[in-house]
Amino acid sequence: MRVAVSGYYGFGNTGDEAIALAITRELKTAGHTPLLLSNTPSETARTYGSESAPRMQPLGLVGALARSQVLLSGGGGLLQDRTSGRTLTYYLGVIRLARALGKRVVVFNQSVGPLSEEGGRKVASALKGVPLIVRDRGSLETLRGLGLEGRLGGDPALLLTPTPGLTPDPAHVIVAPRGDVTAAAPALAEVVRRLRAEGRRVTALSFMPGHDDAAAQALGADQVLSTRDPQEALDAIAGAGFVVGVRLHAVILAAAAGVPFAGVAYDPKVAGFCADAGAPAHPVTPDAEALTAQALARTAPDWDAVAEMKGRARDSFRWALGG
């Protein structure tokens, strides 16, 4: 079965590429043919060994959906209008097109929201009768507020595994900033300074080169790692003892690798993931002393809850596709 996948793919965001990697692996393992809608379809096809089509070219998009049996809308934080109303219009438009072509459509392991009142009405209308799988409990509540019922899954990137043989270094801390969350920068730089004063080695991890690089370089870390490769990011995290993430997928990949973490919740999706995982979450202007103490103590999440999240992420493919 050919499965089209709609998301923020081909833009060089390591978190979204981690989702793409996990989804394509799981679909191929189950005997399906993934077709990713991408900004850079040729590169995406080479990277994941999958089919790919241009996400913004009407003929290419229609053709991709027409030859697929299922559309997975997700994962990621697609159904929101905080960043732009055009974002929501695009993803709902893809859903409507696939439904008009008679395809099975599943909202797949997304975070839903934040939504304006108008955006909420659009989502409620477009998703009526669509199976909804979300990756955090907060999104279930958002759906209920729109008169929709969903099912709790898990972020597909939780299913990724580090390269065998890596050993966590308790004295190594990774900090993953976000270039447009400038309010967090002073506190993060202070956390880095305090950790280094305590003898910790700190790596600033840029999840979106060209967007996060300057923020990573400004932290004063021992080194900066800038990558678009989700496996490289995961392996770097797996070799650390603690992760501080503004980027959502920094903490998700930490959970995947079994490394303790704390989130800086610039967006409800970060707070939602940390809450579901039983992990510390801080406001966008975190208390540097408290965050440093957690990094030094390697404060652990609820690993049983993380295991349940991984189980739901795996089961969600069966829920979406049957079998």
Question: Mean pLDDT throughout 23-41?
Answer: 98
Above 80 in pLDDT, residue 218?
yes
Q: Are 261 and 251 in contact (CB under 8 A)?
A: yes
Where among 152, 184, 219 does a domain terminate?
152
pLDDT of residue 322: 84
Question: Mean pLDDT throughout 88-103?
Answer: 98
Above 80 in pLDDT, residue 198?
yes
Above 70 in pLDDT, residue 122?
yes
pLDDT of residue 84: 82
Above 90 in pLDDT, residue 219?
yes
Mean pLDDT of all residues in the chain?
A: 97
Let me know whether 15 and 111 are in one domain: yes
Let me know whether 173 and 233 are in one domain: yes
Where among 104, 126, 152 does a domain terminate?
152
Question: Mean pLDDT throughout 110-133?
Answer: 97
Question: Mean pLDDT throughout 60-79?
Answer: 97
How many domains would you assign to the chain? Answer: 2
Residue 49, domain member (yes or no): yes
Where among 99, 123, 152 does a domain terminate?
152
Residue 323, domain member (yes or no): no
Residue 314, domain member (yes or no): no
Residue 216, domain member (yes or no): yes
Residue 160, domain member (yes or no): no
Let me know whether 191 and 55 are in one domain: no
pLDDT of residue 83: 78
Let me know whether 236 and 179 are in one domain: yes
Question: Mean pLDDT throughout 226-239?
Answer: 98
Above 70 in pLDDT, residue 323?
no
Residue 322, domain member (yes or no): no
Domain hosting residue 239, numbered range: 169-307
Let me know whether 143 and 225 are in one domain: no
Above 80 in pLDDT, residue 6?
yes
Above 80 in pLDDT, residue 132?
yes
Let me know whether 117 and 182 are in one domain: no
CATH number at residue 256: 3.40.50.2000
Let me know whether 138 and 204 are in one domain: no
Question: Mean pLDDT throughout 254-264?
Answer: 98
Let me know whether 146 and 237 are in one domain: no
pLDDT of residue 58: 96
pLDDT of residue 85: 85
Above 90 in pLDDT, residue 82?
no
Residue 236, domain member (yes or no): yes
Let me know whether 107 and 173 are in one domain: no
Let me know whether 86 and 125 are in one domain: yes
Let me know whether 14 and 142 are in one domain: yes
Let me know whether 181 and 296 are in one domain: yes
Residue 83, domain member (yes or no): yes
CATH number at residue 98: 3.40.50.11930
